[in-house]
Chain A
């Protein structure tokens, strides 16, 4: 039997980030990972580090995470491929522009000033290769992107260096409360600790249910595709505001396209597939917005398992039903950026019972009513 202070189900970024922050506080976390860290959402996502267009509830966390991204080397001794290149949501017509303008107003009223409304000329100078019909946008120049797999490994490595233990190929199957402890069986192995963290990504809904929490959750498979290397064409991350699209060009020249269309997957086997009926739509959008990319060749597409809540914001914090159990899941397609801060929040909650960030909107019992 392996005994620790905290058992973490899931070795994705959120599991590893929680482990890292717990270990910094001197606790002994044990991570159980059914495959390997970065195999699922954390390693295959689009790498967008975005505070732009966040749900108002997420803004304080996203801004706190952004400060950590800007100094990510201090946290994990690795640059994670992070680049501050800005992110911009584009308006393709006046109606979309008006919506972005209204959004900018709302955010300012909440007391935040990170989102900047930009006009046609400013948009053009930010993204010269963008189709001419775009009328303006909403930008955050301090946003950027990182390399997802690289980041997953960096968090894993740092957590382990600080004393966390990781069991790969260890799928948590059974959970029991034994005295004051949680006991998990994974294959032939048994693990015990007084505290549990559910960071099981697309599989987390099941664990929440087992702990007695009623949440509105489902798993989804966002898809991505990538081109061969092409000459420099677009610097910031570009997202469309009226239809699904996110697009960025990596330093090596490849262009990563995705945002919104979903593939297929089987939670049990962990296998998944893309759907070219959806990728066609993404490609059509890319071709319209970046005419110069029509000739770029797509060499790969993929999908990743992700958890999605009905209200599109995650569950972060204690279980409403079980003692000494904490959740971090349901990031609904935008949890990569939040990983550095959410791990810290969990470590704060576990070590001290409180945190300095407003997490009430993310409570596990918000769906119960």
Chain B
């Protein structure tokens, strides 16, 4: 299976560990990653400013995939929603498709709409399959109970055809189980990381993050696993500040699903960018010899 990696903004400019672990793990599961020139922001971070701009930006990225006739791997839930929504609008509204294509033509592009979109979770769970994952596991991970955090935009709105169930997502838990990692339910599972408020309400944004970290910590989880660069930025990169903002001393190891997969596949932790996680991931005892 060949997929073009649509990087979005945050992963390739800051959340390098996500990109490293994706590039390390997917080829082991039969996915060839292709890099295409010309991608830009999906437009979703600017949706509050101008929705037309968001639609145009998403459409131009989709049309780059159309030009190459290739499906897209979109690891950021926010980008995944923006691109899905653009497809939904353009495929359902011929008038709008014409208007947008008139703009895209100025860049020599055209939206056709043939490309399929994958996030990491549905790609691994639905396309690659859990049997393949189990076959690739080379290392017994310690007995862990990790809190799964999906990220809002991969869950909702279901109207836009999200890759997982909006109210009872199970795919990440199933992937974790095939790696030998438990993931119990918790009441706050579907809650937001607070990230979208960072541009204009930074303190509240951090308080939101802190509250969820505290909940995860109080319920005895060993750590948190996620698949969103924005959520990782909040729960991992900003963990100390977030915990302080709610007067807690949360000490929660946070890592990407693809990092955990890579470790279970026996990939060296340096190649998975584990040193870029600022939360106490060493506490998980994940390193060590491949059996």
Indicate whether A and B interact.
Answer: no
